[in-house]
Structure 1
Amino acid sequence: MVSFDGLTDLWDRLFSAQPDPPPLLVVLTGLAALLVVSTRLPWRVARNAITIAHEGGHALVALLTGRKLRGIRLHSDTSGLTLSAGRPSGPGMILTLLAGYVAPPLVGLAGAWLLGGNRITLLLWVAVVLLLAMLVMIRNAFGVVSLLVTGGVVLAVSWYTSPQVQAAFAYTGVWFLLLGGVRPVVELQRLRSRGRMPASDADQLAGLTPFPAFFWVAVFALVNLVVLAIGAILLADPLLDGTLLPTR
């Protein structure tokens, strides 16, 4: 049985603020995330995290708009599929389709907000809870393994590593979500221009609205770039405290 003191310690561990990270850590983790996003093999592996956030965005908005979530599938080629039941048109379906490509940077923005308050451990535990909640709706083996591995890594870092390692891991992950939300939009338009994604989210939105698919691709890109800028400002707060600036 868990003691009161144990619960108090856990509460303090989750909700207490960690020390400010070194400004150099913020810079290096941002560069590391940018390197992953811009190179082929690292991106191919890490893109699974973007897919998890993408499909999670579809699923969450489907539930919030009253649609019935049927399941989520994650595939080894980093693609995914979220199935929901409800009206095939209307605001609920439009918002559900819109949510996928903008979800990763928005999740990153929420993470940047938590990091701005130095709630690093809380951020990692929230990530674990969200992954477990999503696991309930996964309908294929690769998806289950992908979420368990991702959640296990995050949990291990939050429980067994030092505050410095937690900070480096959390900042890298948040930078990656912010930066990694931009590349899939570019890839989407490249594939569409070659006729290889006729049923993309953008094309489905075009079928439900008066606007062409390219308009929705542009919306995805604009939202993700704006969110990236805001998230970068939040993450750069330690740099603005004067530590890296010349003193007088």
Structure 2
Amino acid sequence: MQIDGVTDLWDTLLGAQPDPPGLLVLLTALAGVLAVAFRPVWRVARNAVTIAHEGGHALMALLTGRRLRGIRLEFDTSGLTLSSGRPTGPGMMLTLLGGYIAPSLVGVLGAWLLGGNRITLLLWIAIVLLLLMLINVRNAFGVVSLLVTGAIVFAVSWFADPEVQAVFAYAGVWFLLFGGVRPVFELQSLRKRGRMRESDADQLAHLTHVPALFWVGVFLAVNLAALVIGAFLLAGQWLPASTG
């Protein structure tokens, strides 16, 4: 990417890229499914979902007036976001809700931007969000994880050809849309075996006196709806070409 000044940079960020080939959209969707379904790949790629998950907790904590105390990202792809404030009430509820639905909602936002061919803008928004999270991370692995992820996104956005940027962006958005669903099933599986007694769903159940299974269902319903909406937005990239 060659930028001669602030105006060129602004035009590049807000400008629309050419429509991607329909085959690219379909193949990146398949890649997203395989990344989520194939366990060895999922174990590594799941870090991106964890980043979005903890970012969702952090954002909702800040939006509801809670004080963000820090974020931890662990090697086993687990994470923890700590905030202080009232231990009950809407703020705490929304903070707990924000985690499991965040990857899918980020995926929908990405699909909306890609629907307008704003590929470069999407990549730079991702960089900004990663930097904002980096400020609040409190462990070494979390710092390394965010720096590596941010460096990859920056390298693609700055040095890669438009075609490579498109593949990277579409594959990432599809992965978030599909990847937001699988953790909900993993959550319920672990809960059934008694291995996540303090999960977000169980904490919500304690706060609201509504069964944890209901909140698991809410996570799943939101994420499936996000997958449908995101797929619809991305489908617009190949449907016109197929009917024209």
Q: What TM-score, normalized by structure 1, do the two folds share? A: 0.96
Corresponding residue of 1:46: 45
What is the 5 A alignment of 1:65-144?
A: 65-144=64-143
Code of the aligned partner of 1:188: L
Mapped partners of 1:218, 1:184: distance in 2 = 12
Corresponding residue of 1:15: 14
Mapped partners of 2:139, 2:10: distance in 1 = 35
Instruction: Compare 232-241 and 200-209 and name the one that shifted more.
Output: 232-241
Cα deviation for residue 13 of structure 1 reads: 1.1
User: Where do 4+ consecutive residues of structure 1 move more than 4 Å?
Assistant: none
Cα deviation for residue 30 of structure 1 reads: 0.3
Cα deviation for residue 244 of structure 1 reads: 2.5
Total equivalences in the alignment: 242
Q: Could you list the per-position Cα deviations for residues 3-35 of structure 1 after superposition, in whole angstroms to 9, with x for gaps in the alignment?
A: x95111111111110000000000000000100
Code of the aligned partner of 1:244: S
Corresponding residue of 1:244: 242
Mapped partners of 1:123, 1:159: distance in 2 = 13
Mapped partners of 1:14, 1:138: distance in 2 = 27
Cα deviation for residue 163 of structure 1 reads: 0.5
Mapped partners of 2:11, 2:124: distance in 1 = 13
Structure 2 gap ranges (5+):
none
Mapped partners of 1:99, 1:161: distance in 2 = 33
Mapped partners of 2:237, 2:131: distance in 1 = 31
Q: What TM-score, normalized by structure 2, do the two folds share? A: 0.98
Structure 1 gap ranges (5+):
none
Mapped partners of 1:63, 1:78: distance in 2 = 23
Q: How much is the aligned-residue C-alpha RMSD, in angstroms?
A: 1.0
Instruction: Compare 22-31 and 232-241 and name the one that shifted more.
Output: 232-241
Mapped partners of 2:6, 2:94: distance in 1 = 39
Q: Could you list the per-position Cα deviations for residues 96-119 of structure 1 after superposition, in whole angstroms to 9, with x for gaps in the alignment?
A: 000100000000100001001100
Corresponding residue of 2:23: 24
